[in-house]
Amino acid sequence: MLDLKQSMKKKMFKEAFFRRRCLVPASGYYEWEQKLDENNKMQKIKHSFERPDQKIFSMAGIYDRFFDKDGQPFWAVTILTQPATQQVKDIHDRMPLILDKDMETIWIQSYDLDYSELFKILERRGPELIIK
């Protein structure tokens, strides 16, 4: 996963951000919370996050072509992240950039928007989630 602001500034991701955006469908995602147990050992607790209003939702992604060590091309997708909502913050400081239905078309088709316009659209806070 990649921070939204980094994707627009880092040379490696900048072109993909403006030219190769995609939707990553999901029914949920996982985060691992790290806590000390009673023996002072770090344990990881898995939490599942889902939208209560949609069985399947879209996360903002970018894709690009890369080359492996043998020079063979392959495509890779990166999910963009944003600061966690208050609801998620106690478990993790970042979360995927989850798009509302009305934002999906704008995300994948708005190539004429400049950096600041697109960023304003994407600054919306993430949706309420069910944590399991």
Range of the domain at 34: 2-131
pLDDT, residue 110, reads 73
- Structure confidence by residue, pLDDT tens digits, 95-131: 999 998 888 888 888 777 666 767 766 777 677 788 8
Closest C-alpha to 14, from 124, 120, 118: 118
pLDDT tens across 104-113, in order?
Answer: 888 888 777 6
103, 80 in Cβ contact below 8 A? no
Mean pLDDT of 9-29: 83
The total of structural domains in the chain comes to 1
**pTM above threshold 0.75:** yes
Instruction: Provide mean pLDDT across the span 56-82.
Output: 93
Indicate which CATH number applies to the domain containing 49: 3.90.1680.10
